[in-house]
Structure 1
Amino acid sequence: MSNKLPYADLSLEEALELFRADNDLSAKYRDMRSEAQQHFERHDIVHVLFGLDTTMREEAQADAWTLLGTDVSWRDIADFAALPEEKELVGDIGWWPITKAYFRGLPDYARIAWRSRKLRKKWSWADYAPYRSLRVGSIRREFGIDKALA
Protein backbone atom coordinates (compact mmCIF):
# COMPACT_ATOMS: atom_id res chain seq x y z
CA MET A 1 0.00 0.00 0.00
CA SER A 2 2.91 2.39 0.67
CA ASN A 3 3.42 2.90 -3.08
CA LYS A 4 -0.08 4.36 -3.31
CA LEU A 5 0.63 6.89 -0.58
CA PRO A 6 2.26 10.16 -1.63
CA TYR A 7 5.97 10.81 -1.22
CA ALA A 8 6.99 7.13 -0.95
CA ASP A 9 9.97 7.51 -3.31
CA LEU A 10 11.25 10.74 -1.74
CA SER A 11 13.51 11.19 1.23
CA LEU A 12 11.76 12.49 4.33
CA GLU A 13 13.56 15.82 3.82
CA GLU A 14 12.40 16.07 0.20
CA ALA A 15 8.86 15.01 1.14
CA LEU A 16 8.66 17.71 3.81
CA GLU A 17 9.77 20.36 1.33
CA LEU A 18 7.24 19.16 -1.25
CA PHE A 19 4.47 18.93 1.36
CA ARG A 20 5.14 22.53 2.36
CA ALA A 21 5.25 23.69 -1.27
CA ASP A 22 2.07 21.75 -2.19
CA ASN A 23 0.22 23.30 0.75
CA ASP A 24 1.62 26.81 0.42
CA LEU A 25 3.43 26.58 3.77
CA SER A 26 7.01 27.39 2.76
CA ALA A 27 6.75 31.14 3.41
CA LYS A 28 5.00 30.55 6.73
CA TYR A 29 7.89 28.33 7.85
CA ARG A 30 10.43 30.99 6.96
CA ASP A 31 8.55 33.56 9.05
CA MET A 32 8.29 31.37 12.17
CA ARG A 33 10.57 31.36 15.16
CA SER A 34 12.82 28.27 15.29
CA GLU A 35 10.88 26.74 18.18
CA ALA A 36 7.65 26.95 16.19
CA GLN A 37 9.35 25.59 13.06
CA GLN A 38 10.44 22.55 15.02
CA HIS A 39 6.96 21.83 16.37
CA PHE A 40 5.22 22.40 13.04
CA GLU A 41 7.80 20.22 11.27
CA ARG A 42 7.02 17.35 13.65
CA HIS A 43 3.34 17.78 12.89
CA ASP A 44 3.98 17.90 9.14
CA ILE A 45 6.05 14.72 9.31
CA VAL A 46 2.93 12.97 10.61
CA HIS A 47 1.07 14.26 7.55
CA VAL A 48 3.80 12.97 5.24
CA LEU A 49 4.24 9.54 6.86
CA PHE A 50 0.53 8.79 7.18
CA GLY A 51 -0.38 10.24 3.77
CA LEU A 52 -2.62 13.04 5.03
CA ASP A 53 -3.52 16.35 3.41
CA THR A 54 -4.40 19.62 5.16
CA THR A 55 -8.20 19.49 4.99
CA MET A 56 -9.85 19.95 8.37
CA ARG A 57 -10.78 16.26 8.49
CA GLU A 58 -7.24 15.11 7.79
CA GLU A 59 -5.79 17.66 10.22
CA ALA A 60 -7.93 15.99 12.87
CA GLN A 61 -6.68 12.59 11.68
CA ALA A 62 -3.09 13.84 11.92
CA ASP A 63 -3.74 14.74 15.55
CA ALA A 64 -5.13 11.27 16.22
CA TRP A 65 -2.13 9.61 14.54
CA THR A 66 0.13 11.89 16.57
CA LEU A 67 -1.46 10.72 19.82
CA LEU A 68 -1.64 7.04 18.90
CA GLY A 69 1.21 6.51 16.43
CA THR A 70 4.00 8.59 17.93
CA ASP A 71 5.67 8.89 21.31
CA VAL A 72 4.50 12.51 21.75
CA SER A 73 4.14 13.53 25.37
CA TRP A 74 1.45 15.67 26.94
CA ARG A 75 4.19 18.23 27.64
CA ASP A 76 4.95 18.34 23.88
CA ILE A 77 1.27 18.89 23.15
CA ALA A 78 0.99 21.64 25.74
CA ASP A 79 4.15 23.33 24.39
CA PHE A 80 2.74 23.18 20.85
CA ALA A 81 -0.63 24.62 21.92
CA ALA A 82 1.12 27.47 23.76
CA LEU A 83 3.05 28.66 20.71
CA PRO A 84 1.94 32.08 19.47
CA GLU A 85 2.02 30.70 15.91
CA GLU A 86 -0.37 27.88 16.84
CA LYS A 87 -2.69 30.29 18.66
CA GLU A 88 -2.70 32.53 15.61
CA LEU A 89 -3.52 29.59 13.34
CA VAL A 90 -6.39 28.51 15.58
CA GLY A 91 -7.64 32.11 15.67
CA ASP A 92 -7.52 32.33 11.87
CA ILE A 93 -9.50 29.10 11.45
CA GLY A 94 -11.84 29.65 14.39
CA TRP A 95 -12.83 27.40 17.26
CA TRP A 96 -16.20 26.44 15.82
CA PRO A 97 -14.87 24.96 12.53
CA ILE A 98 -12.15 23.12 14.47
CA THR A 99 -14.67 21.73 16.96
CA LYS A 100 -17.00 20.58 14.16
CA ALA A 101 -14.10 18.86 12.37
CA TYR A 102 -13.10 16.99 15.50
CA PHE A 103 -16.64 15.81 16.20
CA ARG A 104 -17.08 14.73 12.58
CA GLY A 105 -13.82 12.83 12.94
CA LEU A 106 -14.99 10.58 15.78
CA PRO A 107 -15.45 7.56 13.47
CA ASP A 108 -11.95 8.23 12.09
CA TYR A 109 -10.47 8.20 15.61
CA ALA A 110 -11.89 4.75 16.33
CA ARG A 111 -10.45 3.45 13.05
CA ILE A 112 -7.07 5.10 13.76
CA ALA A 113 -7.03 3.64 17.28
CA TRP A 114 -7.59 0.18 15.82
CA ARG A 115 -5.08 0.64 12.99
CA SER A 116 -2.41 2.08 15.27
CA ARG A 117 -2.20 -1.33 16.93
CA LYS A 118 -0.70 -2.64 13.66
CA LEU A 119 2.32 -0.34 13.91
CA ARG A 120 5.60 -2.15 14.59
CA LYS A 121 6.74 0.77 16.71
CA LYS A 122 5.75 4.36 17.34
CA TRP A 123 7.33 7.21 15.43
CA SER A 124 9.66 9.32 17.56
CA TRP A 125 8.17 12.79 17.91
CA ALA A 126 11.52 14.43 18.64
CA ASP A 127 14.31 12.08 17.58
CA TYR A 128 13.82 11.70 13.84
CA ALA A 129 17.04 13.24 12.49
CA PRO A 130 18.46 9.85 11.39
CA TYR A 131 15.44 9.39 9.12
CA ARG A 132 15.69 12.68 7.21
CA SER A 133 17.67 11.18 4.33
CA LEU A 134 15.71 7.88 4.16
CA ARG A 135 12.93 7.24 1.67
CA VAL A 136 9.46 7.72 3.09
CA GLY A 137 8.38 4.32 1.75
CA SER A 138 11.14 2.54 3.65
CA ILE A 139 10.31 4.45 6.83
CA ARG A 140 6.66 3.41 6.47
CA ARG A 141 7.69 -0.22 6.07
CA GLU A 142 10.02 -0.07 9.09
CA PHE A 143 7.29 1.29 11.34
CA GLY A 144 4.47 -0.75 9.78
CA ILE A 145 2.62 2.36 8.69
CA ASP A 146 1.70 0.82 5.35
CA LYS A 147 0.10 -2.13 7.16
CA ALA A 148 -1.65 0.15 9.65
CA LEU A 149 -3.31 2.05 6.81
CA ALA A 150 -4.35 -1.05 4.84
Structure 2
Amino acid sequence: MSTVPETPVVARYQDPDSEQTLAEGLEEYYASMGNLDPLEDMDPEARALFDRHDAAHVVFGCDTTIEQEVLMDTWTIFGSDVGVVAYAKYLKNPTARAIALELGVWRTIVVTVRALPAVVRVFLATRRMKKRWPWDGFAAYRERPLREIRAELGVDVRASVA
Protein backbone atom coordinates (compact mmCIF):
# COMPACT_ATOMS: atom_id res chain seq x y z
CA MET A 1 0.00 0.00 0.00
CA SER A 2 1.38 3.40 -1.02
CA THR A 3 1.78 6.16 1.56
CA VAL A 4 1.56 8.74 -1.20
CA PRO A 5 -1.93 10.24 -1.55
CA GLU A 6 -3.75 10.23 -4.85
CA THR A 7 -2.99 13.32 -6.91
CA PRO A 8 -5.94 15.65 -7.40
CA VAL A 9 -5.15 16.53 -11.00
CA VAL A 10 -5.98 20.16 -11.60
CA ALA A 11 -4.00 20.57 -14.81
CA ARG A 12 -3.11 17.94 -17.40
CA TYR A 13 0.61 18.40 -16.78
CA GLN A 14 0.01 17.36 -13.15
CA ASP A 15 -1.32 13.95 -14.20
CA PRO A 16 1.40 11.38 -13.39
CA ASP A 17 0.75 9.72 -16.77
CA SER A 18 0.43 12.90 -18.85
CA GLU A 19 1.11 12.37 -22.54
CA GLN A 20 1.70 16.11 -23.00
CA THR A 21 5.16 17.11 -24.09
CA LEU A 22 7.11 19.40 -21.78
CA ALA A 23 6.43 22.24 -24.25
CA GLU A 24 2.67 21.56 -24.13
CA GLY A 25 2.80 21.34 -20.34
CA LEU A 26 4.56 24.70 -20.20
CA GLU A 27 1.85 26.23 -22.42
CA GLU A 28 -0.82 24.94 -20.04
CA TYR A 29 1.18 26.10 -17.01
CA TYR A 30 1.50 29.65 -18.41
CA ALA A 31 -2.16 29.72 -19.47
CA SER A 32 -3.18 28.80 -15.91
CA MET A 33 -1.53 32.02 -14.74
CA GLY A 34 -3.57 34.08 -17.19
CA ASN A 35 -0.49 35.23 -19.10
CA LEU A 36 0.42 34.39 -22.66
CA ASP A 37 4.10 35.02 -21.95
CA PRO A 38 4.79 35.96 -18.33
CA LEU A 39 8.52 36.04 -19.08
CA GLU A 40 8.21 38.56 -21.90
CA ASP A 41 9.20 41.68 -19.94
CA MET A 42 12.07 40.14 -17.97
CA ASP A 43 15.74 40.78 -18.54
CA PRO A 44 17.54 37.85 -20.24
CA GLU A 45 19.15 36.53 -17.03
CA ALA A 46 15.86 36.53 -15.11
CA ARG A 47 14.06 34.97 -18.06
CA ALA A 48 16.61 32.13 -18.26
CA LEU A 49 16.24 31.46 -14.53
CA PHE A 50 12.44 31.47 -14.69
CA ASP A 51 12.47 29.26 -17.82
CA ARG A 52 14.36 26.63 -15.84
CA HIS A 53 12.14 27.03 -12.78
CA ASP A 54 8.92 26.84 -14.82
CA ALA A 55 10.07 23.71 -16.67
CA ALA A 56 10.74 22.10 -13.29
CA HIS A 57 7.21 23.07 -12.15
CA VAL A 58 5.80 21.09 -15.05
CA VAL A 59 8.09 18.06 -14.72
CA PHE A 60 7.46 17.79 -10.98
CA GLY A 61 3.72 18.50 -11.37
CA CYS A 62 3.52 21.59 -9.16
CA ASP A 63 1.27 24.61 -9.58
CA THR A 64 2.04 28.15 -8.41
CA THR A 65 0.33 28.19 -5.01
CA ILE A 66 2.62 29.08 -2.11
CA GLU A 67 2.35 25.51 -0.81
CA GLN A 68 3.46 24.12 -4.15
CA GLU A 69 6.29 26.66 -4.41
CA VAL A 70 7.63 25.33 -1.10
CA LEU A 71 7.54 21.83 -2.59
CA MET A 72 9.18 23.12 -5.79
CA ASP A 73 12.12 24.38 -3.77
CA THR A 74 12.49 20.88 -2.31
CA TRP A 75 12.17 19.15 -5.70
CA THR A 76 14.64 21.58 -7.25
CA ILE A 77 17.32 21.48 -4.56
CA PHE A 78 17.24 17.70 -4.08
CA GLY A 79 15.78 16.42 -7.38
CA SER A 80 17.72 18.44 -9.92
CA ASP A 81 21.38 18.98 -10.67
CA VAL A 82 21.17 22.73 -9.92
CA GLY A 83 22.74 22.59 -6.47
CA VAL A 84 22.07 24.90 -3.56
CA VAL A 85 24.46 27.69 -4.65
CA ALA A 86 23.01 28.03 -8.16
CA TYR A 87 19.44 27.80 -6.86
CA ALA A 88 20.23 30.51 -4.31
CA LYS A 89 21.19 32.69 -7.30
CA TYR A 90 17.67 32.15 -8.67
CA LEU A 91 16.15 33.05 -5.29
CA LYS A 92 18.26 36.23 -5.12
CA ASN A 93 17.11 37.40 -8.54
CA PRO A 94 15.25 40.73 -8.12
CA THR A 95 12.15 39.40 -9.92
CA ALA A 96 12.00 36.28 -7.73
CA ARG A 97 12.58 38.39 -4.60
CA ALA A 98 9.79 40.79 -5.59
CA ILE A 99 7.37 37.87 -5.96
CA ALA A 100 8.42 36.51 -2.55
CA LEU A 101 7.98 39.92 -0.91
CA GLU A 102 4.50 40.20 -2.43
CA LEU A 103 3.54 37.01 -0.61
CA GLY A 104 4.88 38.26 2.70
CA VAL A 105 7.52 36.75 4.95
CA TRP A 106 5.15 35.72 7.76
CA ARG A 107 2.69 34.05 5.40
CA THR A 108 5.53 32.19 3.68
CA ILE A 109 6.87 30.95 7.03
CA VAL A 110 3.43 29.74 8.15
CA VAL A 111 2.80 27.94 4.85
CA THR A 112 6.26 26.36 4.96
CA VAL A 113 5.70 25.01 8.48
CA ARG A 114 2.29 23.62 7.51
CA ALA A 115 3.80 22.01 4.42
CA LEU A 116 6.56 20.18 6.33
CA PRO A 117 4.93 16.72 6.04
CA ALA A 118 4.67 17.22 2.26
CA VAL A 119 8.24 18.58 2.13
CA VAL A 120 9.46 15.37 3.80
CA ARG A 121 7.40 13.30 1.34
CA VAL A 122 8.93 15.18 -1.63
CA PHE A 123 12.43 14.89 -0.16
CA LEU A 124 11.98 11.11 0.14
CA ALA A 125 10.67 11.00 -3.44
CA THR A 126 13.82 12.78 -4.64
CA ARG A 127 15.94 10.11 -2.94
CA ARG A 128 14.14 7.45 -5.01
CA MET A 129 14.77 9.23 -8.32
CA LYS A 130 16.93 7.38 -10.86
CA LYS A 131 18.41 10.54 -12.32
CA ARG A 132 18.38 14.26 -11.45
CA TRP A 133 16.45 16.78 -13.55
CA PRO A 134 18.93 18.77 -15.70
CA TRP A 135 18.39 22.40 -14.60
CA ASP A 136 20.49 23.81 -17.45
CA GLY A 137 19.86 21.07 -20.02
CA PHE A 138 16.08 20.95 -19.91
CA ALA A 139 15.63 22.21 -23.51
CA ALA A 140 16.55 18.74 -24.81
CA TYR A 141 13.35 17.46 -23.14
CA ARG A 142 10.92 20.03 -24.60
CA GLU A 143 9.36 17.70 -27.18
CA ARG A 144 9.28 14.58 -25.01
CA PRO A 145 6.12 13.39 -23.24
CA LEU A 146 6.02 14.17 -19.52
CA ARG A 147 5.18 10.53 -18.74
CA GLU A 148 8.38 9.46 -20.49
CA ILE A 149 10.52 12.13 -18.79
CA ARG A 150 9.17 11.20 -15.37
CA ALA A 151 9.76 7.49 -16.01
CA GLU A 152 13.36 8.17 -17.07
CA LEU A 153 14.06 10.28 -13.99
CA GLY A 154 11.95 8.28 -11.56
CA VAL A 155 9.75 11.26 -10.65
CA ASP A 156 6.56 10.49 -8.73
CA VAL A 157 4.46 13.66 -8.96
CA ARG A 158 1.99 12.20 -6.45
CA ALA A 159 4.49 13.27 -3.78
CA SER A 160 3.59 16.90 -4.59
CA VAL A 161 0.14 16.58 -3.04
CA ALA A 162 0.29 19.01 -0.12
Q: Same fold by TM-score, threshold 0.5 exceeded?
A: yes
**Structure 1 vs Structure 2: percent identity of aligned residues?**
32
Instruction: Return the alpha-carbon distance in structure 1 between the equivalents of residues 123 and 74 of structure 2.
Output: 8
Residue by residue, what CA displacement relative to the aligned partner does 1:90-147 show, whole Å, maximum 9, x if unpaired? 1211111111111111111211122212211111111112111111111011111138
Look up the SS of the partner of 1:133 in the other structure: coil
**Aligned alpha-carbon RMSD (Å):** 2.3
Is residue 53 from structure 1 mapped to residue 63 from structure 2 by the alignment? yes
Is residue 105 from structure 1 mapped to residue 111 from structure 2 by the alignment? no
- Distance 1:143-1:98 versus aligned 2 partners, 3 A rule: same
1:113-128 alignment, distance < 5 Å: 113-128=123-138
Residue by residue, what CA displacement relative to the aligned partner does 1:58-82 show, whole Å, maximum 9, x if unpaired? 1111111111111112231222122
Is residue 141 from structure 1 mapped to residue 151 from structure 2 by the alignment? yes
Maintained 8 Å contact 2:52/2:135: yes
**Alignment TM-score, normalising by the size of structure 1:** 0.87
Q: Which blocks of at least 5 consecutive residues in structure 1 are unaligned?
A: none
Is residue 83 from structure 1 mapped to residue 89 from structure 2 by the alignment? no
Maintained 8 Å contact 2:77/2:84: no
Maintained 8 Å contact 2:121/2:159: no
- Distance 1:25-1:100 versus aligned 2 partners, 3 A rule: farther
Is residue 6 from structure 1 mapped to residue 12 from structure 2 by the alignment? yes
Of 32, 43, 55, which aligns to 1:22? 32
Maintained 8 Å contact 2:61/2:157: no
- Distance 1:143-1:32 versus aligned 2 partners, 3 A rule: same
Which consecutive segments of 4 or more residues in structure 1 shift more than 2 A?
4-7, 24-28, 146-150
Amino acid at match of 2:88: A
Look up the SS of the partner of 2:156 in the other structure: helix
- Distance 1:148-1:55 versus aligned 2 partners, 3 A rule: closer
Maintained 8 Å contact 1:116/1:148: no
Instruction: Return the alpha-carbon distance in structure 2 between the equivalents of residues 122 and 75 of structure 1.
Output: 16
Amino acid at match of 1:76: A
Match of 2:142 in 1: 132
Look up the SS of the partner of 2:19 in the other structure: coil
Q: Which blocks of at least 5 consecutive residues in structure 2 are unaligned?
A: 1-5
Aligned length: 149
**Alignment TM-score, normalising by the size of structure 2:** 0.81
1:31 Cα offset (Å): 1.2
Instruction: Return the alpha-carbon distance in structure 2 between the equivalents of residues 121 and 93 of structure 1.
Output: 33
